[in-house]
Structure 1
Amino acid sequence: EPFVLQKLKDAIEAHYRTKHSASDYAEMLNITPKALAKITKAYFQKTLTDLISDRIVIEAKRELYLSAKSIKEIAYELGFDDEFYFSRFFKKRADISPQYYRDTVGFAAAV
């Protein structure tokens, strides 16, 4: 695995709550967005945006599953200003709405 990809994974892990664009990570790693995209796609068979989104969805699912926080709170903590945009983002990536995920899998289902 190229060194830059290890640094990318570390950067995503550290900043996924605040930085959602591929260009933010390219700037952090002092590499052009196009070059980083090419390396990422070649190695992971995913776009950089997909990697960032996957990490956000993992955290969103964890919060929905383990906490009683409102969806609005979770959206805000993950860097979304609009809870409805977050819900659309989550539904597009997870094929299920955040509320339905919580009701069927999460904390509320266990209570």
Structure 2
Amino acid sequence: KAQHAVSGLKEPFILQNLKDAIERDFKTKHSASDYAKALNISVKTLAKITKTYFNKTLTDVISERIIIEAKRELYLTNKAVKEIAYELGYQDEYYFSRFFKNNTDISPQMYRDTVGFGRDD
């Protein structure tokens, strides 16, 4: 019982550290294991906490942050998709485009054309 109370207190602290770590490192660290290592916790434990509190997988939480930034860049800048992909830690723009499309159901270029400024210059 006492053990559970201690872990119950630690979980929000771990989640705050996780959110801070993702905010700081999402451009370079994309995997659940990167964050588990950074927080000195097992992937399994961190995944369980994330699922409990956010009702999402850790991978989904990381992906969401990357997508928010990608959308922001697509919307606010006229940087090439390749450049945005690179800035977000993807060496391969096609892999990034698939990742974006899997998470949003629309390609980065289509997103820009429909939601962004759709600049042609």
- TM-score bin (small chain): over 0.9
TM-score (norm 2): 0.88
Higher normalized contact order (CA 8 Å, seq sep 6+, divided by chain length) = 1
Contact kept? 2:78, 2:119, Cα under 8 Å: no
TM-score, normalisation: structure 1: 0.96
If you compute each CA radius of gyration, which structure gives the higher value, 1 or 2? 2
% identical equivalent positions: 72
Q: 5+ unaligned residues in a row in structure 2: which ranges?
A: 1-10
Aligned to 2:106: 96
| Unaligned stretches of 5+ residues in structure 1 | none
The whole-number CA distance in structure 2 between the counterparts of 1:69 and 1:36 is: 35
Question: Partner amino acid for 2:45?
Answer: A
Q: Letter of the aligned partner of 1:17 in structure 2?
A: K
Q: What is the aligned partner in structure 2 of residue 47 from structure 1?
A: 57
Q: State how far apart, in whole Å, the 2-side matches of 1:40 and 1:7 are.
A: 12
User: What is the number of residues matched between the two proteins?
Assistant: 111
In 1, Cα distance between the equivalents of 2:81 and 2:24?
22
Q: Pick which of 22-31 and 101-110 moved more.
A: 101-110
